């Protein structure tokens, strides 16, 4: 279990009671969830824009999982050209899961951040560079001391171009990691399924709680996107 992560809602106790494993659930074993979305913030605590839109014409969306979404969201809301970010859940089975349910490992979701960005200011490749460099994508079902399926690394793509660019960036970063003596990337790259907004207290968490826990950290290896590596996709 993630011994370093403070969880004010007794998530660690909940996990022990449910005997959390490192295996993803099946449709038969996943929790049932609910039809109604969870209550969440209407506007971004830092950026001031509507979490669920409407968003300006021409913006695009990306979804990344890098471990605890509190620190991940701050990475992305700090980038120029990002219109709004939100913490949420993706990659799983249970509809509209709660945080405690996701922590149990019985929904299949990972903690993700949805990024709405202006491609005229910041490219999807720029976001991928931030993704690779700000966590360790070689750790499987964990990120640092945070262990469990909800901490796995993932890129959930919204179209074929994102899928191709994400895969190409993975290959480029793997080459850099291998050259640095690091391990193999375990990041899940696949078309996005449903995205569920996390509860309001998770949105903009580290701005609301400046001394709050942030468990993400990179490998120290630079991702070669934008430094002369041919990504194999169009601009």
Map tokens 């950290």 to a residue.
217
68 noted as active-site residue:
yes
**Residue of 134, 142, 139 lying closest to 113 (CA atoms):** 134
**What are the beta bridge partners of residue 86?**
114
Longest dimension (CA), the chain: 50
Alpha-carbon gap, residue 186 to 207, rounded angstroms: 30
Report the first-to-last Cα separation within the chain, whole angstroms.
Answer: 41
In the set 11, 68, 103, 223, the catalytic residue is 68
Residue 231: both structure tokens together: 């990504």
Distance CA 204, CA 13 (A): 25
* Ranges assigned E (strand) in the chain: 60-65, 82-90, 110-117, 142-143, 146-147, 154-157, 188-191, 196-197
Q: Closest Cα to residue 128, out of 148, 147, 153, 91?
A: 153
- For the annotated catalytic residues, the residue numbers are 68
């Amino acid at each position: 279990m993630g011994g370093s992560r403070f969880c004010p809602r007794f998530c660690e106790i909940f996990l022990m009671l449910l005997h959390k494993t490192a295996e993803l659930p099946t449709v038969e074993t996943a929790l049932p969830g609910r039809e109604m979305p969870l209550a969440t913030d209407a506007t971004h605590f830092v950026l001031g824009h509507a979490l669920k839109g409407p968003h300006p014409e021409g913006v695009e969306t990306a979804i990344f999982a890098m471990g605890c979404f509190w620190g991940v969201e701050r990475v992305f809301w700090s980038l120029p050209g990002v219109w709004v970010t939100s913490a949420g859940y993706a990659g799983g089975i249970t509809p509209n899961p709660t945080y405690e349910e996701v922590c149990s490992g019985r929904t299949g979701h990972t903690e993700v951040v949805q990024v709405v960005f202006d491609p005229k200011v910041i490219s999807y490749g720029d976001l991928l560079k931030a993704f690779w460099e700000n966590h360790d994508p070689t750790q499987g079902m964990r990120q640092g001391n945070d262990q469990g399926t909800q901490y796995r690394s993932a890129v959930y793509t919204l179209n074929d171009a994102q899928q191709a660019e994400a895969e190409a960036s993975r290959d480029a970063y793997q080459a850099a990691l291998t050259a640095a003596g690091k391990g193999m990337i375990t990041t899940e790259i696949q078309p996005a399924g449903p995205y569920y907004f996390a509860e309001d207290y998770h949105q903009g968490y580290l701005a609301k709680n400046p001394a709050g826990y942030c468990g993400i950290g990179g490998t120290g290896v630079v991702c070669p996107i934008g430094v002369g590596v041919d990504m194999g996709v169009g601009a």
